Structure 1
Amino acid sequence: MEGLVTSLLVELRIGLTITLNSNGEQLIQFCAHNELRINNTFYPHKQQHKYTFENTRGHKSIIDYIITNRNIHPSKILDVRTLTSANTGTNHHMVLAIMRNCVQKKTHNKPKVTEKLNIESLSDDTTKYLYQQRLRKAINENKILKDDTVELAWKRLSTDIRTAAEEALGKRKVNLNGKPNTKPWFTHEIKSPAEEKRKSYLQYISQTITYADYKVVRNKTNMEIQTIKRQFWEKYSSDMENDLYGGQKKIWNMIRDIKRPINEYIHTKTITLKEWERYFHELYGDTVTSQPTEQKQENISGEGEDIQQQLISKDKSEATMRKMKNRKSPGLDNINNELLKYGGNELIDQMHVMFNKIYDQRKVLEEWKVSISIPVFKKEKKDPNNYRGISLLSTTSKLLINIITEEISSSGMSEEQQGFRQN
């Protein structure tokens, strides 16, 4: 009796005589017994926006529901309807419920857009040659002079590198807080047939074209999308086989975007800059050491020119630059390893001159003393103590350190030396 009364109320709300099967009766009885509310038929809409199932034989029914309990007051549900324009690929229409709930307001962060060099384009031999030619021209017009200080020499050389890189490689805009790309295969080639399929579906539901015509467009579009997806993944796999080191980064980025932890989307208390400053200051402490005395500097500078020839040789500088790893994050100077590695002979000569100036003048560049500290999350995100810091140093400073290390390990160690050996 209770189910019959409820079905009559549903007929009054929907405005049609309905056929109720056993499943519908059980659903009504279940909702009535547990004080649940079926929200589909409470809101006035066109008939096409009430049916949730419709096939090509003209059968229509309501078999998908939005059901709520007493914890959700009816005034919080603003509307319930089906979306016939949503192409779900099945005979079931998508059911949309608009609800008003007391949740924390989502903050829309302003997009943080930055520009980065297209370093990946250096994998192409033509682009690499163009970069070397532009760098050669820039160096010839702005060479390091004999009387230049270390700071001025590095300013000239870094300006030449950046100018040549921007001209040859170009820049791309990167949105730092943008949404992750979970479908890298969705390109402009797919967007066009997908739009054609959507328009054809809208024409079909508005009875402008027949289902057979829509089916032809749908099957054709699905075949095109499958072909484009297959070609993308084949190229992706081929690139990983040819560039295993770069492929590791691609795979990690894809896994990180797809399986992003849920708590990253939850608004949490942000850590202020002062808290970060206090944390890293306590972590690293006071690392400033006393400056060497003038007497010590005089003793070192009197060693002669033979030690300079032994420590910093051009051949060792070139060999160390060739062994630099690709796809490493730059430091404050924003000069990647690839820009040094593929710079050509002119850059090697200028780097050798600058390194000798650093050795002669006994002075380290001020830019090399500054690193970029990046906190990497470990556990709880609200506490700075649960982060570990990674410091990004200048690539040229690491290059000089590697050159000196190579020289010492190859010529400055005796057979009795036990520590600081690779093997």
Structure 2
Amino acid sequence: MRKLCNFAASNGFIIASTKFNHKHEDKVTWNAPGGRYSTQIDHILIREDRQSLIEDVYTEKAANVETDHFMVVAKVRIKKTNQNKKQSKKARWSIDKLKQEEVRAKYEEEMEKELESQESGMEVREKWMKLKACLNKTAQNVLGTEQKQKQTQWWNEKCKELVRRKTEARDKYMKTGDDNDKENYRKARNEANHGIREVKNQWMNHKLQTAENQMKNNNTRKFYQDIKKMNTIKSTRQTTKMKNKHGKTAETEEEEKQIWEEYFMTILTEDKTQRRNLGVGQEEERCERNEQISIAEQDIKEIIKKLKNGKTPGPDGINNELIKYGGDRVVKEIHEIINQIWDMEHVPEEWGIGAIYPIHKKETNRYVTTIEASPCSTPHTRC
């Protein structure tokens, strides 16, 4: 201990594990064989100018492993960055239920009831918001939300029993320190490890067989979902500073936003050169021809039928299936909205919102010119 103190003093460290007031049993890190005595021999050091980051240090005796040392735990205060802020997650509807005929019939019936109260003469934005609310409300009542499954789906009663036996054997050995109890603990630990591994392998084989059958049945969406759930390795997102077209690195979030704005203004702005060259007579003829056009309800119905299933919804959270299986009344509402938009030449502001995900195509991801924009679907792209 004296050598540790001299090392800490000469290098500007403090021994954080001796700084906080705890009971003796909460500071002990090692038990002598046979439980003759216990002491604190494992420590945590930190630079003296950073000691305020550690809020507490204590020992944790719940680690069920064969060792006479206890785990030392430190509570550290870390400042979170803006990039790690959690965004509010939208509800994900159980769309797979719509594959059942009785569920589809019930969903269409509920949509008919919800849309009966729709008032006439509303503006485009208000009409769309009412339809969106009806779609979400009916999806909530009929389909419900997807329940997130735990990563350890394979953990069953057999695993719990094996762990319970191992814990009891360890507790007995820690109290007595007897060699026979130590051997019993080793046996219980090995049985638990082999039994849990066997249960997990059986579950994994069953999942792989299920995924193989889904691939044979062309259910690729469900196949990739199951593969993703079985993959327990979570990827880490690497964040780097962006550079503008002049090579200057963005130091603040506002500067990064400015770089993205300039980039998307360049690649997404409409080329109006051809429109400027259009003659006055041609422009008037085009406007007159557009005024005479009316979109038929049957055309809207055919387009809705062609919508693909299993696609990720846009920022509005509405899946294609919610519109496809909403019945004739949903088709009628969308037909009225589209014609109203055509006549007024104005779309709801929400339809102009899209989620754009940058896909890095080269080794460097610091210049926006090496990125291809991949826009997510928005409501107005469906019809």
Query: Is residue 99 of structure 2 the alignment partner of residue 131 of structure 1?
Result: no
In structure 1, the residue matched to 2:254 is 274
Offset of residue 330 of structure 1: 1.2
Judge conservation of contact 1:312–1:355 (CA < 8 Å) in 2. Answer: no
Distance in 2 (alpha carbons) for counterparts of 1:113 and 1:187: 29
In structure 1, the residue matched to 2:305 is 319
Between Structure 1 and Structure 2, whose CA radius of gyration is higher?
A: 1
Distance in 2 (alpha carbons) for counterparts of 1:219 and 1:275: 57
The C-alpha deviation readout for 1:289-330, integer Å capped at 9, x for no partner, is: 68999835641245466xx45x96255234313xx1314141
C-alpha spacing 1:201/1:129, structure 2 compared with 1 (3 Å): farther
Q: Tell me the percent identity.
A: 16
Distance in 2 (alpha carbons) for counterparts of 1:121 and 1:228: 29
Judge conservation of contact 1:150–1:354 (CA < 8 Å) in 2. Answer: yes
Q: 1:240 aligns with which of 206, 211, 217?
A: 211
In structure 1, the residue matched to 2:375 is 391
Judge conservation of contact 1:373–1:392 (CA < 8 Å) in 2. Answer: yes
Structure 2 letter corresponding to 1:200:
E
Q: 2:63 aligns with which of 82, 86, 95?
A: 86
C-alpha spacing 1:202/1:110, structure 2 compared with 1 (3 Å): farther
**Count of residue pairs brought into register by the alignment:** 332
Judge conservation of contact 2:354–2:378 (CA < 8 Å) in 1. Answer: no
TM-score (norm 1): 0.55
In structure 1, the residue matched to 2:331 is 348
Structure 1 letter corresponding to 2:288:
N
Offset of residue 370 of structure 1: 1.6
Offset of residue 282 of structure 1: 1.3
TM-score (norm 2): 0.59
Query: Is residue 132 of structure 2 the alignment partner of residue 158 of structure 1?
Result: yes
Structure showing greater relative contact order (alpha-carbon pairs closer than 8 Å, 6 or more residues apart): 2
Offset of residue 274 of structure 1: 2.1
Offset of residue 151 of structure 1: 3.3
Offset of residue 161 of structure 1: 0.7
Distance in 1 (alpha carbons) for counterparts of 2:251 and 2:169: 48
C-alpha spacing 1:244/1:382, structure 2 compared with 1 (3 Å): same
Higher alpha-carbon deviation: 186-195 or 340-349: 186-195
Offset of residue 107 of structure 1: 2.8
Distance in 2 (alpha carbons) for counterparts of 1:392 and 1:133: 30
Structure 1 letter corresponding to 2:305:
A
Offset of residue 211 of structure 1: 5.5
For structure 1, the residue ranges without an aligned partner over 5 or more in a row are: 1-8, 14-38, 40-44, 175-180, 401-423
C-alpha spacing 1:386/1:164, structure 2 compared with 1 (3 Å): same
C-alpha spacing 1:196/1:280, structure 2 compared with 1 (3 Å): same
Judge conservation of contact 1:377–1:388 (CA < 8 Å) in 2. Answer: yes
The RMSD of aligned alpha carbons is 5.8
Distance in 2 (alpha carbons) for counterparts of 1:87 and 1:234: 28
